[in-house]
């Protein structure tokens, strides 16, 4: 099975809280459902924030620190430290959550979601519709399923997409895959075709990296359109 878009891997039944959900109830929701985080929604089911286990643990850590250093004068807090301290005193989800929430849409590609998680250092993305209403959630574990594809599945998919994108017979591009690393070989008409082939291959589900050993005919660097690339992300 191939996973291309968030809608293919997301969980639709989402455990969520609202702004008035008490701290202890949030903790119970995480524990009972064996999850490490959840979205916070308003009355219209629009996502307004996200709570993680780290947010809850900050409160416990703050309480221990406060008891142990009750009379110690503290330096002026940075903005980040003030946010952490506020969460440590939070009694409800509204004050505990991180906002704004980093979200995804059902039509986003899993590769884009993985990059978003890495850039923002988050482990989950609430999935929202065009009105920012919660419709699902996707986690790092969901995205990692993409990389369970076999090398042979990846090779067939890369071959099909690259040759279709370049509009050339399949024998023109030789595709090898080892542990998700794709190697492309062959002689193409244009230099631009090499860049296009690498870009298409890199957007195939399960590809870890792309190595190009493609060459092109001399004096044929004239730009060309990129057919078939709109669906390869």
Residues 199/229, Cβ–Cβ less than 8 Å:
yes
Residue 177 zone, left/alpha/beta (φ > 0; ψ -120 to 50; rest): beta
**Angle, to 10 degrees, between the axis of helix 53-68 and the axis of helix 79-88?**
90
Which domains occur in the chain, in start order? 6-146 (3.10.580.10), 149-216 (3.30.1340.30)
Which residues have C-beta within 8 Å of that of residue 209, sequence separation ≥ 6? Answer: 180, 181, 182, 202
**161-207: per-residue pLDDT in tens?**
999 999 999 999 999 999 999 999 999 999 999 999 999 999 888 88
Please state the pTM of the whole predicted model: 0.63
Residues 108-124 pLDDT 10s: 988 788 889 989 999 99
Measured CA to CA, the distance from residue 223 to residue 108 in angstroms comes to: 29
Under 8 Å between Cβ of 137 and 128:
no
């Amino acid at each position: 099975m191939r996973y291309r878009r968030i809608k293919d891997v997301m969980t639709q039944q989402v455990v969520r809280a609202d702004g008035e959900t008490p701290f202890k109830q949030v903790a119970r929701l995480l524990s009972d459902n064996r999850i490490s985080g959840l979205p916070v929604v308003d009355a219209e089911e629009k996502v307004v924030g996200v709570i993680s286990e780290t947010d809850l643990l900050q409160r416990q850590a703050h309480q221990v620190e406060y008891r142990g250093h009750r009379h110690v004068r503290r330096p002026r807090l940075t903005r980040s430290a003030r946010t952490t301290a506020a969460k440590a005193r939070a009694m409800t989800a509204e004050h505990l959550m991180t906002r704004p929430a980093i979200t995804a849409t059902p039509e986003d590609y899993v590769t884009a979601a993985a990059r978003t998680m890495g850039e923002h250092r988050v482990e989950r993305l609430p999935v929202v519709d065009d009105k920012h209403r919660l419709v699902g959630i996707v986690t790092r574990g969901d995205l990692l399923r993409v990389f369970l594809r076999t090398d042979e599945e990846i090779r067939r998919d890369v071959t099909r997409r690259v040759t279709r994108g370049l509009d050339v017979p399949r024998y023109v591009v030789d595709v090898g895959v080892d542990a998700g690393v794709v190697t492309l070989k062959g002689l193409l008409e244009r230099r631009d075709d090499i860049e296009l082939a690498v870009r298409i291959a890199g957007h195939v589900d399960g590809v870890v990296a792309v190595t190009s050993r493609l060459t092109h005919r001399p004096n044929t660097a004239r730009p060309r359109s990129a057919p078939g690339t709109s669906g390869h992300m």
